[in-house]
Amino acid sequence: MSDEDKKDYLAREYSDWELFTRLMGYTKPHFRIFITALITMFFSTILSILQPIILAVAIDEYILPKNLEGLELISLAYLVISVVSFSLNVISSYYTTITGIRLITQIRTDAFYKLQELSLDFYDKEAAGRIISRVTNDVERLLNLLSTGIIDAIVNVMFLGTLFFILFYLNPILALTVLIIFPILAIFVVYFRIKARSAWQRTRRALAKVTGYYQEAISGIEVSKAFAAEEFMSNEFKVLNLDNYEARIKALMLFAIMFPVMDTILALGTAVVLSVGGISIGAGILSVGILVAFLSYLSRLAQPIMTLSNFYNDLLSSMAATERILDILDRTPSVIPRSDKMISEMQGIIEFKDLTFSYVPDQAPVLKNFDLTIPAKATFAIVGHTGAGKTTITNLLCRFYDFNQGEILVDGVDIRDYNIPSYRKWLSIIPQSSFLFSGTVRENLLYGNPDASEEQIEKALLRVGAFDFVCRLGLDAQVGERGSRLSFGERQLLCFARALIADPSILLLDEATSSVDAHTELVIQESLQNILQNRTAIIIAHRLSTVRSVDQILVIEEGKIKEMGTFDELLNKKGIFTNLYEKQFAGQEI
């Protein structure tokens, strides 16, 4: 296992046996195909083992005695056996390869479902890059083993066994000579494999660094341009890329040396067999045909040794990869409902009762004995310093994290009792980042309600004031990654429209902090008023116009409600809100 692999965070350790049986478990539904492929491959191999014997018969019985009658039949048999053996091989490989690809596609789908299912605390701990590497590279690494790998290994063990049996049967002395060559070849191949493995590992690490640098350079392109750091970045990249180049050259050089050295060892074997065989023929204890058969067998010795050592490598790296994949597949979401209550209608009465919560167990709580009741269809704003716990309140209401001290009730029922998808259907969130998925405007709008009609879309766009610019772009225009082809204000309006089309009973809005011009501010404010109608809303507020228009404002500090009231009430109080107002909101006065 490489250092990088070791750094991976695993929820638990797996024994080698467990890894192997779990991996094999995946092949179970395809067991019949595997058995068929194994049998096909076995016959293909047996036929190919017969070929040198036919050669021996042809030489000893027909060519040397100059008995040419029947030689064409023997030649034809040789050809037919070749073709049949080859065809069986192709059929077997075809089925196993297809099965292997099917299996890794299945594993990848399973992993995707699991990643969608897992709760947010998993993503707090795991770096995105590492998760992605597991479901792409690691899954890919299983392909060889799950397709032809295992069958090839089994068949090659059988091949070597049968081969030695035949060799000893034909001529024990020559068989012993071959038996001396065999370990030399095997030791060399194994030694070479170990060297090549570490060389390839170095290449892989170097390539990972190059890829990572590319990724960072692309996402930070604005910053590097703004700091005129293009040349610096390029020079840094050159160093990394050179490392990758050198590692690759080293690995490839090893391969370049390997085959000539193997040929030399085989040539040594051929020389020994030739001399021992020649002497034996002279002594009349060996026929020419058998000698030719031996030479032919000798040339076939390298392949199975290579295949078996390859298999061993594949097995090791597949086990390491399996461990990292199972670590994802075996996780369970931390947020699970206590019972399975479905919701057919939601009024949107929200009650927080004595709620205490911390993200990390045993750490000081982020929310402390939090109590609050929000009547149906009211709009509440939350304000407070950064880190006060505002987002945490909405995170818990969305069931993104589980909690166990205190309760949150919606329409009088503890939200932990609701079936989660059924509950979330009634909830919409407009995130601070105005996140859009890459795809078309329409796809983004339908995200929360795939069945919405054209009319509903149009109405929503009109109500949030996005109709004009969407008409200009077209509903089928691509928005780009994260909506990068749209202006910030446009992204926000589309998020509003998306929430409106989903028509939730509870709306959670994390207001964007970035300032927009007075006109856009006005458009956003108007559309906000439109989408707030007829539903309960909690707004984490950053705009003066928002705090002015809501029913109640909560001032949060250190996870507690410090002040609560309408805008005017709080200003008159001359407390924390007044202070906050002067620092944060008063500057926005137009």
Ligand X SMILES: Nc1ncnc2c1ncn2[C@@H]1O[C@H](COP(=O)(O)OP(=O)(O)OP(=O)(O)O)[C@@H](O)[C@H]1O
Q: How far is the CB of 366 from ligand X (least distance, A)?
A: 4
- Match 């909560």 to its residue by tokens: 554
Instruction: Choose the stretch contacting Mg ion; rule: CB under 5 A; options: 86-94, 104-112, 308-316, 387-395.
Output: 387-395
When asked if residue 389 is in the footprint of ligand X (CB under 6 A), the reply is: yes
CB-CB contact of 518 with 590 (8 Å): yes
Site for ligand X contains 4 (CB under 6 A): no
**Residue 573 near residue 563, CB atoms below 8 Å:** yes
| 360 binds, options Mg ion, ligand X, none, Cβ within 5 to 8 A by partner type | ligand X
By the rule CB under 6 A, 381 interacts with ligand X: no
124 touching ligand X, by CB under 6 A:
yes
Query: Can you spell out the DSSP letters for 300-323?
Result: TSHHHHHHHHHHHHHHHHHHHHHH
- Taking contact as CB under 6 A, which single stretch among the options 247-255, 358-366, 477-485, 487-495 is the one that binds ligand X? 358-366
Residue 305 or 508 with smaller CB distance to Mg ion: 508
Kindly identify the residues of this chain, within the stretch 424-443, that bind ligand X according to CB under 6 A: none
Least Cβ distance, residue 121 to ligand X (angstroms):
7
Q: Which of 436, 430, 431 is nearest to 483 (CA)?
A: 436
In the complex, the smallest distance separating the C-beta of residue 400 from ligand X, rounded to whole angstroms, is 9
Tell me which stretch binds Mg ion (CB under 5 A): 43-51, 154-162, 390-398, 494-502. 390-398
- Nearest-approach distance from CB 18 to ligand X, in angstroms: 31
Quick one: which segment of 18-26, 149-157, 162-170, 390-398 binds ligand X (CB under 6 A)?
390-398
Determine the residue with CB nearest Mg ion: 391
The option from Mg ion, ligand X, none interacting with 465 (CB < 5 to 8 A, set by class) reads: none
Q: Which residues pair with 553 in a beta bridge?
A: 381, 565
Extract the tokens encoding 262: 């193997």
Q: Please tell me the distance from the alpha carbon of residue 292 to that of residue 278, in angstroms, as a whole number.
A: 11
The option from Mg ion, ligand X, none interacting with 348 (CB < 5 to 8 A, set by class) reads none
The CA distance from 174 to 178, in Å, is 6
List C-alpha distances in Å: 529 to 217, 383, 390, 535, 546: 41, 18, 21, 11, 9
CA distance 238 to 244: 10
122 within 8 A of 331, measured Cβ to Cβ? yes
**Token pair for residue 276?**
């021992």
Binder of ligand X out of 113, 214, 312, 359 (CB under 6 A): 359
Q: Is 471 exposed, middle or buried (0-12, 13-18, 19+ CB in 10 A)?
A: exposed
- Pattern 340-379, binding to Mg ion, x per CB under 5 A? ----------------------------------------
User: Which listed option, Mg ion, ligand X, none, makes contact with residue 386 (CB within 5 to 8 Å by class)?
Assistant: ligand X
- Out of 391, 434, 492, 505, point to the residue binding Mg ion (CB under 5 A): 391
**Cβ 390 to Mg ion, closest distance in Å?**
5
Contacted by 590, from ligand X, Mg ion, none: CB < 5 to 8 Å by type? none
Could you say whether residue 189 binds ligand X (CB under 6 A)? no
Stretch that binds ligand X, among 163-171, 192-200, 287-295, 387-395 (CB under 6 A): 387-395
Q: Which is nearer to Mg ion, 384 or 483 (CB)?
A: 384
571 touches 581 (CB < 8 A): yes
Interface with Mg ion by CB under 5 A: which range of 182-190, 385-393, 416-424, 563-571? 385-393
Sheet holding 506-510, edge to edge: 427-430, 506-510, 536-540, 379-384, 552-557, 560-565
Residue 293's binding partner out of Mg ion, ligand X, none, with CB under 5 to 8 Å set by partner kind: none
Indicate the residue among 185 and 580 with the shorter CB distance to ligand X.
580
Cβ(436)–Cβ(473) below 8 Å: no
Strand partners, 356: 405
Is-contact 548 567, C-beta < 8 A? yes
Q: Least Å distance between CB 251 and Mg ion?
A: 48
Per-residue b/e over 53-66, b at no fewer than 16 CB within 10 Å?
Answer: bbbbbbbbebeeee
Task: Tell me the window of 213-221, 278-286, 383-391, 565-573 that interacts with ligand X (CB under 6 A).
Answer: 383-391
Consecutive H or E run containing 561: strand 560-565
- CA–CA distance, 180 with 51 (Å, rounded to integer): 23
Q: Which position has the token pair 């695993």?
A: 10
Distance, CA of 399 to CA of 421 (rounded, Å): 10
Residue number with CB closer to ligand X (304 or 389): 389
Among 76-84, 132-140, 146-154, 380-388, the segment contacting ligand X (CB under 6 A): 380-388
For binding to Mg ion (CB under 5 A), which residues are involved? Answer: 391
For binding to ligand X (CB under 6 A), which residues are involved? Answer: 124, 359-360, 366, 384, 386-392
